[in-house]
Amino acid sequence: DIVMTQSPDSLAVSLGERATINCKSSQSVLSSSNNKNYLVWYQQKPGQPPKVLIYWASTRESGVPDRFSGSGSGTDFTLTISSLQAEDVAVYYCQQYYTTPSAFGQGTKVEIK
Amino acid sequence: EVQMLESGGGLVQPGGSLRLSCAASGFTFSSYAMTWVRQAPGKGLEWVSTISGSGDSTYYADSVKGRFTISRDNSENTLYLQMNSLRAEDTAVYFCAKGANWGWRGVDYWGQGNLVTVSS
């Protein structure tokens, strides 16, 4: 089974500053057949279900602000919030959808400094 | 608009059973895999089970294999999770989620969640 590990577990960033979250998979989630990384990022705010931000590791979901970006390939991935806004306070999860079980990372809590 | 409404949660004693339902609308239900994801209080997300659009293929986390059964009724646009031999560690909010267009093991829409509490 693929294990997903996020770092850090939490971070506090000043408004307008950059936030960076890392996600590492225990095996590659890059498909040789289509050259796509089967990695998705979700945002979960308190009391709400998760929401898709980024899929295929770097494709922004429709309606997601462009301050959110995803990068990486193979086993190492990054979610970047280029200029943190108050409404970005949430827990962020990565998930691989390359194989079953489709494991989630443990989550990274983003707060305002 | 895609919507999913879970029901059937509540308080159950250890060793008991419960069946969750998820009524879906706003998309062609039979064309998409469906997934249950759970979240224990104050904890992260845990994938529980996925079923193919036709219902022919099912997948389970090791933590629930042999105790939980996922099923669907495509004529009623409804997803189910039959949970037997429940344990305290099964206490969680259970989310019903739609398989994503970009990958059936991912999910792109989530229900609001339904709390299951296993306690004596």
CA B18 to chain A, closest CA, distance in angstroms equals 22
Pairing of strands A68-73, B3-7: unpaired
- What was the pLDDT predicted at A64? 98
Average pLDDT over residues A31-53: 97
Average pLDDT over residues A44-57: 97
Q: Please, which pLDDT band fits residue B87 given cuts at 50, 70 and 90?
A: very high
Q: Which residues sit opposite A19 in a β-bridge?
A: A81
- What was the pLDDT predicted at B40? 98
Listed range (A100-104, B16-20, B38-42, B81-85) with the worst mean pLDDT? A100-104
CA B15 to chain A, closest CA, distance in angstroms equals 25
Q: Please, which pLDDT band fits residue A61 given cuts at 50, 70 and 90?
A: very high
Q: Which residues are CB-neighbours of A111 under 8 A, at least 6 positions away?
A: A10, A11, A12, A13, A89
Q: Which residues are CB-neighbours of A33 under 8 A, at least 6 positions away?
A: none
Contact A38 B106 (CB under 8 A): yes
A50 and B CB contact within 8 Å: yes
- What was the pLDDT predicted at B69? 98
Q: How does pLDDT run across B15-50, given as a tens digit for each residue?
A: 999 999 999 999 999 999 999 999 999 999 999 999
